[in-house]
């Protein structure tokens, strides 16, 4: 079996010990790597019902069979844990040298349990583990932490670090590697709860592939295609180019989802940012796309994506470019998820304007208010910032009144920059997502931006098609490759099977990978069921179901609870789940998930 070490490294911070645990070929073939294998490991290594910030909770760094091969964009890793924001499974991806060095350290995954007695760094070198004190790093921002670790350990080591937000258990804190973040769901808080400032990896243990000649051929072919038109958007403008498009289609969330267009959108547009502020274009290790566009702010240069731009700009009613760029840079350094940070501040702005929250006169468009709040949130400096560090769901419950109706989250995870009422297939994707409102695990928006569906009127047919986008995401996040490559494949499952055959030597087919993808999606669901999921969670905040949205023509875009439920029912049916969204024994058997379903309270249904 090529592509794997066939083991994971289990590190117990309580005792400071580590041991290898074998991973059978059966498990690896069923779950591949990345989020798939991470999900399997979390089922086994995190106790049912665990508090995500308890020392017993597991934090999983998971590599993949493709890491270390010359295949473009394959230098990626997944981080998986129970989220302190959603209390459900959370998986987030990041990229570059940490993935390469992590896999060379000798394992297919790192499972970290327990907690250190004092701030520490975990150092893994060719499988040898040591824990070193890091009191002098505690309190430092992510970029400075990375810089000091580089000086202390040298260039062979690569680090995943937390900023002040992770240390202070902000429920949407990130884990950062070279300023690329495993961003969503508060994984940085899980690491902070273990008093781990950083995980460092280095090693020399390369893994052979089954058919080196074929892998090199495939790598050349994929690289060649990655230079082509399917990825031109990412190279030429980056994802920030979404902003004006979404604005034109009334799909740009503005002022906490009260509008779908922002009057200052032109000023913030990717097109104008590129003309006025772009200073460089960069790429992850092993990537031939180069999607990262770097912009200048008055506080330094910052990488900006659409999601950060929307959340810290229009969602907060802010049109000042420099404020948005500085806020994004601040989030990166503090280790705050830009989407949740922007959404939480936007929510606080609306609460303040409505008189529900005393927040020093905070209002939409208050750039200085945003820049003042972010560092306070990251360190929970006062009552207001401590409240907002909890995320919108918990904050809304504490604020009371009708605040929960417009707190912009699903399962606790704040919505990304897709307006659900004018992108109604995406509305379904948000409602049923295993980690909450999520644009990376469901690509349902692809259907809204197509001739296949009517984006203003969701339908059961669109719901069924949305499962395909989830399946593709589950596979690409488990192999792992970058989603920005997806446009270069003509037959994604067949070509993925070819890549995996070359690397692993398995006689694997497109059909098997389709089943693998379905298995991974349902495995996540089973984890959530074990942790208390019911179908009442698969919904949207009341605002989206009760308030229409202007679309610039005669009729408003509306999404009713009934029409959303019709899509959810169709989605459950397409997944093969029961009408209440639970997973039947028969499906557990069909998908070979029995080892994950032992504690599924609904397995006899």
Partner 1 sequence: MNRPTITIELFGMPRARAGTKEVVVSASTVGEALAEVVKVSPKLADVFRADGSLSPQYLLSLDGQQFVSDLTHPLRSGDRLLLLSADAGG
Residues 6+ apart with CB under 8 A from 272: 266, 321
- Residue 162 contacts residue 175 (beta carbons within 8 Å): yes
- To partner 1, the closest distance from the beta carbon of 552 in angstroms equals 7
* The one among 31, 347, 445, 506 contacting partner 1 by CB under 8 A: 445
Helix (H) or strand (E) holding 197: strand 196-202
Comparing CB distances to partner 1, the nearer of 73 and 145 is 73
Rule CB under 8 A: say whether 274 interacts with partner 1.
yes
Distance, in Å, from the CA atom of 526 to the CA atom of 524, rounded to the nearest integer, reads 5
- Where does this chain touch partner 1 (CB under 8 A) — which range of 213-221, 228-236, 372-380, 510-518? 228-236
Answer yes or no whether residue 305 interacts with partner 1 by CB under 8 A: yes
How many residues in the shown chain lie near partner 1 by CB under 8 A?
A: 41
Indicate whether 343 belongs to the interface with partner 1 (CB under 8 A). no
User: Is the Cβ–Cβ distance between 346 and 355 less than 8 Å?
Assistant: no
CA angle centred on 534, ends 531 and 535, rounded to 5°: 145
**Peptide bond just before 480 cis, omega within 30 deg:** yes
Interacting residue with partner 1 among 45, 307, 419, 471 (CB under 8 A): 307
For residue 245, state whether it binds partner 1 (rule: CB under 8 A). yes
Residue 48 interacts with partner 1 (CB under 8 A): yes or no: no
Q: Which is nearer to partner 1, 138 or 449 (CB)?
A: 449
Query: Considering the rule CB under 8 A, would residue 263 count as an interface residue with partner 1?
Result: no
Quick one: which of 155, 229, 355, 400 contacts partner 1 (CB under 8 A)?
Answer: 229
- List alpha helices for 415-509, DSSP H: 424-432, 445-448, 460-479, 492-504
Check residue 244 for interaction with partner 1 (CB under 8 A). Answer: yes
21 vs 230 by CB, closer to partner 1: 230
262 part of the interface to partner 1, by CB under 8 A: no
Is 254 an interacting residue with respect to partner 1 (CB under 8 A)? no
Question: What is the rounded CA–CA span in Å between residue 254 and residue 247?
Answer: 9
Q: What is the side-by-side strand order in the sheet with 158-161? A: 128-133, 120-125, 196-202, 158-161, 175-177, 180-182
* DSSP per-residue letters across 339-378: HHHHHHHHHHHHHHHTTSS-STT--TT-HHHHHHHHHHHH
Q: Using CB under 8 A, which of 64, 120, 239, 344 touches partner 1? A: 239
User: What secondary structure letter does DSSP report for 592?
Assistant: T
- Which listed range, 13-21, 76-84, 242-250, 395-403, lies at the site for partner 1 (CB under 8 A)? 242-250
The reply on whether position 460 binds partner 1 by CB under 8 A is no
Under 8 Å CB-to-CB from 523, ≥6 apart: which residues?
Answer: 31, 36, 39, 40, 43, 591, 593, 596
Q: Does 279 contact partner 1 by CB under 8 A?
A: no
Q: Which residues on adjacent β-strands are paired with residue 295? A: 278, 302
Contact 379, 168 (CB under 8 A): yes
> Which of the residues 468 through 497 are near partner 1 (CB under 8 A)?
483-484, 486-487
Report the nearest approach of partner 1 to the CB of residue 554 (Å). Answer: 11
Tell whether residue 554 is a contact of partner 1 (CB under 8 A). no
Residues 523-542 that bind partner 1 (CB under 8 A): none
CA distances (Å), origin 177, targets 63, 147, 161, 329, 406? 14, 11, 6, 15, 33
How far apart, in whole angstroms, are the C-alpha atoms of residue 341 and residue 305?
15
Residue from 257, 306, 544, 602 in contact with partner 1 (CB under 8 A) = 306
- Residue from 241, 297, 504, 522 touching partner 1 (CB under 8 A): that is 241
- List the x/- string, 382-421, binding to partner 1 by CB under 8 A: ------------------------------------x---
The yes or no reply on residue 246 touching partner 1 (CB under 8 A) is yes
**Alpha-carbon distance 224 to 488, whole Å?**
10
What does the alpha-carbon distance between residue 568 and residue 466 come to, in Å, rounded to a whole number?
A: 11
Q: Least distance (Å) from partner 1 to the CB of residue 478?
A: 18
337 touches partner 1 by CB under 8 A: no
- Rounded to whole angstroms, the Cα distance separating 231 from 477 reads 18
Whether the Cβ atoms of residue 321 and residue 273 lie closer than 8 Å to each other: yes
Please state the closest distance from residue 333 (CB atom) to partner 1, in A.
22
292 binds partner 1 (CB under 8 A): no
Is 450 a binding residue for partner 1 by CB under 8 A? The answer is yes
Residue 446 interacts with partner 1 (CB under 8 A): yes or no? yes
Among 30, 76, 88, 439, binds partner 1 (CB under 8 A): 439
Is there binding between residue 237 and partner 1 (CB under 8 A)?
Answer: yes
Contact residues: partner 1, CB under 8 A: 229-230, 232-234, 236-239, 241-242, 244-246, 248-250, 270-271, 274, 305-307, 418, 439-440, 443, 445-446, 449-451, 455-456, 483-484, 486-487, 551-553
């Amino acid at each position: 079996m090529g592509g794997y070490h066939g083991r994971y490294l289990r590190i117990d911070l309580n005792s400071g010990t580590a041991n290898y645990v074998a991973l059978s070929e059966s498990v690896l073939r069923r779950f591949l790597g990345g989020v798939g294998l991470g999900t399997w490991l979390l089922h086994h290594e995190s106790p049912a019902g665990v508090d995500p910030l308890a020392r017993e909770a597991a934090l999983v760094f998971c590599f993949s069979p493709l890491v270390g091969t010359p295949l473009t964009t394959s230098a990626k890793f997944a981080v998986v844990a129970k989220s302190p924001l959603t209390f459900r499974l959370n998986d987030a991806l990041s990229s570059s040298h940490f993935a390469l060095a992590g896999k060379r350290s000798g394992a297919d995954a790192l499972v970290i349990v327990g907690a250190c007695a004092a701030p520490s760094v975990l150092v893994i070198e060719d499988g040898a583990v040591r824990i070193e004190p890091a009191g002098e790093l505690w309190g430092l921002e992510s970029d400075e932490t990375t810089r000091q670790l580089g000086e202390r350990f040298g260039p062979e080591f690569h680090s995943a670090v937390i900023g002040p937000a992770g240390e202070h258990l902000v429920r949407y804190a990130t884990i950062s590697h070279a300023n690329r973040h495993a961003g969503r769901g508060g994984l940085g808080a899980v690491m902070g709860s273990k008093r781990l400032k950083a995980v460092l990896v280095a090693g020399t243990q390369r893994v052979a592939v089954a058919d080196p000649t074929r892998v090199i051929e495939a790598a050349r072919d994929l690289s060649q295609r990655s230079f082509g038109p399917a990825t031109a958007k990412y190279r030429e403008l980056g994802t920030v180019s979404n902003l004006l498009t979404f604005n034109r289609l009334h799909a740009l969330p503005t002022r906490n989802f009260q509008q779908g267009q922002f009057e200052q959108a032109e000023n913030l547009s990717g097109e104008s940012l590129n003309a006025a502020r772009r200073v460089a274009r960069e790429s992850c290790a092993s990537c031939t796309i180069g999607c990262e566009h770097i912009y200048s702010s008055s506080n330094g240069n910052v990488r900006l994506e659409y999601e950060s731009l929307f959340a810290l700009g229009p969602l907060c009613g802010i049109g000042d470019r420099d404020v948005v760029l500085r806020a994004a840079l601040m989030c990166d350094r503090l280790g705050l998820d830009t989407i949740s940070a922007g959404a939480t501040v936007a929510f606080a702005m609306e609460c303040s304007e409505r008189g529900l929250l005393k927040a020093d006169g905070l209002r939409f468009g208050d750039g200085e208010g945003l820049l003042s709040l972010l560092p306070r949130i990251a360190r929970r400096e006062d009552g207001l910032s401590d409240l907002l560090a909890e995320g919108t769901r918990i904050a809304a419950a504490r604020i009371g009144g009708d605040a929960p109706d417009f707190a912009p989250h699903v399962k606790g995870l704040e919505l990304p920059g897709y307006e659900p009422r004018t992108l109604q297939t995406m509305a379904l994707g948000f409602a049923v997502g295993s980690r909450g409102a999520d644009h990376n695990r469901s690509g349902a928006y692809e259907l809204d931006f197509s001739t296949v569906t009517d984006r203003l009127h969701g339908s059961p047919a669109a719901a069924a098609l949305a499962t395909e986008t989830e399946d593709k995401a589950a596979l690409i996040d488990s192999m792992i490759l970058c989603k920005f490559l997806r446009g270069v494949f003509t037959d994604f499952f067949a070509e993925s099977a070819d890549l995996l055959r070359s690397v692993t030597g398995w006689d694997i087919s497109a059909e098997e990978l389709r089943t693998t993808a379905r298995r991974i999606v349902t495995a996540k669901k089973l984890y959530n069921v074990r942790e208390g999921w019911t179908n009442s969670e698969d919904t949207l905040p009341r605002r989206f179901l009760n308030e229409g949205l202007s679309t610039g023509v005669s009729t408003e875009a509306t999404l009713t609870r009934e029409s959303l439920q019709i899509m959810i029912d169709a989605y459950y049916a397409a997944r093969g789940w029961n009408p209440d969204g639970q997973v039947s024994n028969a499906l557990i058997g069909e998908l070979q998930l029995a080892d994950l379903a032992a504690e599924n309270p609904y397995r006899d249904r």
